[in-house]
Structure 1
Amino acid sequence: MSTQPTPALSRSLWSRLGTREPTLTRGGFLRAAAAGLFATGAAGSLAACGAADSASGGGFTYASILPFDTLTFIPEMMGTAGGYLSDQGVDMKVEIARGTAQAMQTVLAGKAPVVRPSMIDLATARTTAKQPLVAIGTVMRGPSVVLNYAKNDALDDPTKLVGKTVGIPSKGGTSEQTLLLMLTDAGVDPDDVKRQVVGQSPSTWELVRRGQLAGFISGIDVSLIIQSQYDDAAALDPGKYSSIQSTTQIYVTTEDAVQKQADKLTGFLSAIRASMQAVIDDQSRAKSIQTLRKKYHFATLDDDAIAKRAFDVYVDLWTTQANGRKLLETDQEKWVAGIEKLQKLGYISGVSKPETWMTNDLLKA
């Protein structure tokens, strides 16, 4: 087993940079997502009154799907550690939810004005549960997860996954969504690829080395750690094969909050945009890394080489495919096309006026 750092990541990532759970069909996937996100029909009325209550309160609560121990949250962490949020008068408190479902429910209940899920999470909420959620900014313009695999069994093309088992961190979550959409867009029937729920950590790599998994989906941080430790590790970038925009990450709030908390949300988005721009301008990333280390400490941030690689990958995700759009600005044409393609593929149904599910009005010029 090699413990020498690998000199480079796979080309696709760099260019943008055990109990088996039942296999989900497209219909089953939709039902599972809807059941997980919105367990009761009462959430709509709860959201309406909750948002109004929070509008009059002080502070700003950010509903996070994960703890701030991953560089996925560079914009939010820079906003805090770099003082960009306080510059906008935003006193941000972070409420850690147990995944996307709970975080979105926190926003619907009015306990927090903003959450950062994927586009498909919002699409499912709007079509299946009829929830009044709206996107107010696009953070990641491509998938923020990758498929880790061993070089001796190269999975550098989705068609090579047929008949194999892929590890996912949870059933119906963003990672599985990304995998299913990549397979569908590549012409592969998702039912021909088995999925098994596994831990999203470097230790899962051992299951790949033993041949128990063909590969597993993880966040970029975990993949970078694995590739720094094992020279037989590589990663497939789903964005190379999928043109679907639904795996982009977006800031989401309620329609009610857009009206009643516009100033707070505008201040938050302005701070996040300033944080992102500061990182972009810091081409060596050294100053940005040191800024985060004043407040945060975790594996990928504490390693200079991995942190630099991660910053580069995330900056690319913020800026590629922007088509001239400013940071956080959502491309309405691509947004509508992505929603309509999801419906055509059968992942959602009942789409009506998807252009009203997003707005750039809270972004300062």
Structure 2
Amino acid sequence: MKRREFLGSAAAAAATLLPFPGLMPVVHAQEKGKLTFLTPSSFSLAFSPILYASAAGIFAKEGVDLKVEAGRGAAQVVQLTAAKQVQTGRTGGGNYMMARVNNQAPVIAFATIAQRSPFAVISSKDAPILKPQDLAGKTVGVQSAGGSMEATLDLMLLRSKVDAKSVRRERVADSAASFGMIESKRVHAFLGNTSAAIRLTAANYPVETMRMDDGVPGQVYVAEDSVLAANKDAFVAFLRAAYRSAQELIAMDDAALAKAVALMRGKFDIPGSDNTPIALADMRANRELWMTADPKHVLRNVESQWAEGESLLRQAGLLKQPTTKPLYTNEIWEAANG
């Protein structure tokens, strides 16, 4: 099935899932060891633990037949995983927690790949935003109202005791063109991911970058509850391969890393990956996100971080229901790497 057909049919099946949690599509039994992984956006080096493991044959060596699909947003990953249209995927920690608690989504986080938010506040060197308090009274560009970036902004402001109402929001595109809005004084800064900040710097834009830390697990891998339980061995093998992939990438010097990027580019369409200096800077920045907690515990769910994240989401009024289901499990990680 072509990617467009896959996403179209899957999205249609999932569209009514969260408003009607009792309605589940009929799906065929999953073939042993065969998984589909959904990214939250078009392919990028942020997803390299999965892309490299696929291109280098690490999944195959673990007996996992993995198909990787590019999705259209973090919320879609939760929806299609819950609808059993894909077996697993990557999504934002805050988005996932809200779906799990508020909508009783039958998905659970079994790994955390980015321990901290992958987003950044991008401003001008002439008027830099260096700390959350600098945002008070400012106008910030965001890609979409109510999206994961804006949720990260609100949580960071709450954590830093900055009145979120004092920070005005404007819609911007996720591209270098957004810097023009800073130059024209329409916004003081805009939100982008790590890769966007690196591309701007490489293109010699006079940017200042402030990493965002909202206290919530940044990016997680999720699976539907019953699918995870029924296919534990496949998920253990999947996570073992992803862990090995991440550790290999972490250990690489620039020469080896450039070869790894070329290998991924040979199998996946990764915009910008053919510019080696930018690709290497992108890889280095993403590796930092994997290792924020403990390099040996890459992909593990950190209990203290999840507790803080849940507390902050409740303070912000984003978790509106009691937490009746576990938000995460380390059972798969322990079986794969313990």
Structure 1 residue aligned with 2:40: 65
How big is the shift at 1:73? Answer: 0.9
**How far apart in 2 are the matches of 1:92 and 1:306?**
28
Q: Does 1:327 align with 2:298?
A: yes
Alignment partner of 2:126: what SS? helix
Structure 1 residue aligned with 2:193: 219
**How far apart in 1 are the matches of 2:195 and 2:137?**
28
Q: Does 1:129 align with 2:113?
A: no
Q: Does 1:159 align with 2:107?
A: no
TM-score by length of 2: 0.87
Deviations 1:210-269 (A, max 9, x none): 111111111111111111113521111112xx4x124x1110111111211212222221
Q: In the alignment, which of 331, 334, 359 is matched to residue 329 of structure 2? A: 359
The code of the aligned residue for 2:50 comes to: E
Structure 2 residue aligned with 1:252: 222
Q: Does 1:291 align with 2:266?
A: no
Alignment partner of 1:357: what SS? coil
Q: Does 1:201 align with 2:196?
A: no
Structure 1 residue aligned with 2:24: 46
How big is the shift at 1:44? Answer: 4.1
Alignment partner of 2:117: what SS? coil
How big is the shift at 1:353? Answer: 5.3
Structure 1 residue aligned with 2:122: 148
Alignment partner of 2:286: what SS? helix
**How far apart in 2 are the matches of 1:65 and 1:44?**
25
Q: Verify the 8 A CA contact 2:120 2:192 in the aligned structure 1.
A: yes
Structure 2 residue aligned with 1:25: none
Q: Verify the 8 A CA contact 1:325 1:331 in the aligned structure 2.
A: no
**How far apart in 2 are the matches of 1:126 and 1:352?**
8
Deviations 1:55-94 (A, max 9, x none): 35773211221121x2111111101111111112222223
Deviations 1:119-170 (A, max 9, x none): 2112111221112221100100111011111011111122222222211111
How big is the shift at 1:199? Answer: 0.9
**How far apart in 1 are the matches of 2:18 and 2:48?**
34
Q: Verify the 8 A CA contact 1:220 1:310 in the aligned structure 2.
A: yes
**How far apart in 2 are the matches of 1:197 and 1:111?**
31
Q: Aligned residues: percent identity? A: 24
How big is the shift at 1:39? Answer: 6.9
Q: Verify the 8 A CA contact 1:137 1:328 in the aligned structure 2.
A: yes
| Corresponding pairs, count | 320
Q: In the alignment, which of 76, 80, 83 is matched to residue 109 of structure 1? A: 83
TM-score by length of 1: 0.81
Q: Verify the 8 A CA contact 2:78 2:107 in the aligned structure 1.
A: no
The code of the aligned residue for 1:217 comes to: L
Alignment partner of 1:317: what SS? helix
Alignment partner of 1:352: what SS? coil
**How far apart in 2 are the matches of 1:38 and 1:211?**
41
Q: In the alignment, which of 226, 243, 247 is matched to residue 277 of structure 1? A: 247
Q: In the alignment, which of 295, 298, 310 is matched to residue 339 of structure 1? A: 310
**How far apart in 1 are the matches of 2:115 and 2:272?**
22
Q: Does 1:310 align with 2:288?
A: no
Q: CA RMSD in A?
A: 2.2
Structure 2 residue aligned with 1:120: 94
Q: Does 1:138 align with 2:138?
A: no
**How far apart in 2 are the matches of 1:37 and 1:175?**
22
**How far apart in 2 are the matches of 1:218 and 1:197?**
12
Alignment partner of 2:53: what SS? helix
Relative to structure 1, is the Cα distance of residues 54 and 214 closer, same or farther in structure 2, using a 3 angstrom cutoff? farther
Q: Verify the 8 A CA contact 1:54 1:110 in the aligned structure 2.
A: no
**How far apart in 2 are the matches of 1:121 and 1:179?**
13
**How far apart in 2 are the matches of 1:117 and 1:304?**
27
Deviates more, 1:284-293 or 1:265-274: 284-293
How big is the shift at 1:283? Answer: 2.6
The code of the aligned residue for 2:19 comes to: G
Deviations 1:334-364 (A, max 9, x none): 312321232133221333356x221111121
Alignment partner of 1:63: what SS? strand
- The runs of 4+ residues in structure 1 deviating greater than 4 Å are 36-40
The code of the aligned residue for 1:60 comes to: L
**How far apart in 1 are the matches of 2:118 and 2:18?**
30
